[in-house]
């Protein structure tokens, strides 16, 4: 049924694009109402109870999905090592990320937020790694929207931590599609010739040029008269751990250069999903 829906979208690219942008605007404009719901729940349950509830729900969902995924892996051994490698790697990345970079457990919602968007982009790209990469501009715009438009008096940094969490969620979606036998493109070019690789290189170069001409700066003390975006409003680089003002927890805020390297490496890693072939 999923494969049929993907085929249906592939033959109706305009509808596919409309669905991509409709879902993205849903994410964009539902963010603030959901944040207020989350804050209301946290106030009424207490942070500790809320964190416990979120952890239990997430673990329950993860265990349920794991049951179906592992069952499918056991019944279909084609490209099994590749699937298991990427599945275990991504879950491990997410667990480590949550340990050091979440200021509360509800941050895990970012691993679900863009999953359906990546699924909708997949029929347009026909490649797993490309679907993850072409979700990235939407993630970046969403974080810009929160930082500049929604919460300018609340957020004092562009949350690159969330970009990483979003990416893990998209990757898990693509890995699940692989495991359940969804086919990507059979015409796979060398990675350096693919549109997703060229797009990633262009994005990195554009960011580096923007930083060089001071259009984007890492911290407030580096800003110039032409600066469009200050990634972190603090005057000096972050310490490794930041103390949350209300949650009494320490978490790591990724520095812009650190995040650029990590995000680029992560997407290059996921381009390897397209070494998969359906035998």
Give the closest residue to 128 by CA, choosing from 178, 78, 186.
178
Instruction: Say what the pLDDT of residue 235 is.
Output: 73
For 192, half-sphere exposure in the C-beta direction (CA atoms, 13 angstrom radius) is 0
Instruction: Say what the pLDDT of residue 106 is.
Output: 86
Instruction: Say what the pLDDT of residue 276 is.
Output: 58
Question: How distant, in Å, are the alpha carbons of 78, 106, 170 from that of 123?
Answer: 22, 30, 14
SS3 for 46?
coil
Instruction: Say what the pLDDT of residue 278 is.
Output: 46
CA distance 164 to 277: 27
For 113, half-sphere exposure in the C-beta direction (CA atoms, 13 angstrom radius) is 27
Along the chain (279 residues), what's the average pLDDT of each consecutive run of 10 residues? 88 95 94 89 87 89 84 80 91 91 86 92 94 97 94 88 95 92 80 92 96 94 92 83 82 92 97 71
CA distance 133 to 45: 37
SS3 for 270?
helix
Residue 162 CB coordination number (10 Å): 21
Query: Which residues have a Cβ under 8 Å from the Cβ of 65 and sit 6 or more positions away?
Result: 176
Q: Are 109 and 162 in contact (CB under 8 A)?
A: no
Q: Taking the domains of the chain in order of start, what are their residue ranges?
A: 2-275
Tokens 């084609």 belong to: 78
Instruction: Say what the pLDDT of residue 165 is.
Output: 94
- Where in 118-180 does DSSP place strands (E)? none
pTM for the predicted model, two decimal places? 0.92
CA dihedral (22, 66, 168, 31) positive or negative = positive
Q: Are 116 and 27 in contact (CB under 8 A)?
A: no
6: left (phi over 0), alpha (psi -120 to 50) or beta: alpha
């Amino acid at each position: 049924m999923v494969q049929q829906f993907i085929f249906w979208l592939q033959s109706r690219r305009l509808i596919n694009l409309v669905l991509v942008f409709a879902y993205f605007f849903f994410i964009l404009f539902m963010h603030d109402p959901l944040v207020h719901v989350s804050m209301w729940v946290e106030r009424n349950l207490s942070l500790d109870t809320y964190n416990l509830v979120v952890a239990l729900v997430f673990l329950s969902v993860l265990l349920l999905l794991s049951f179906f995924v592992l069952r499918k892996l056991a019944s279909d051994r084609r490209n099994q090592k590749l699937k298991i490698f990427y599945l275990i790697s991504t879950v491990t990345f997410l667990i480590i990320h949550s340990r050091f970079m979440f200021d509360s457990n509800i941050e895990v919602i970012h691993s679900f937020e863009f999953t359906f968007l990546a699924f909708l982009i997949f029929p347009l790209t026909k490649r797993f790694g490309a679907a993850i990469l072409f979700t990235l501009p939407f993630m970046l715009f969403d974080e810009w929207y929160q930082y500049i438009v929604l919460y300018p008096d609340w957020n004092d940094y562009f949350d690159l931590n969330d970009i990483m969490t979003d990416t893990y969620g998209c990757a898990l979606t693509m890995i699940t599609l692989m495991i359940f036998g969804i086919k990507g493109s059979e015409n796979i070019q060398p990675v350096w010739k693919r549109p997703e690789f060229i797009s990633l290189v262009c994005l990195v170069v554009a960011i580096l040029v923007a930083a060089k001409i001071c259009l984007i700066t890492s911290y407030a003390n580096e800003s110039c008269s032409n600066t469009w975006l200050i990634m972190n409003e603090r005057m000096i680089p972050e310490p490794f751990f930041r103390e949350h003002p209300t949650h009494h927890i320490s978490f790591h805020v990724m520095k812009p250069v650190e995040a650029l390297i990590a995000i680029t490496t992560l997407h290059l890693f996921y381009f390897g999903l397209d070494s998969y072939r359906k035998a």
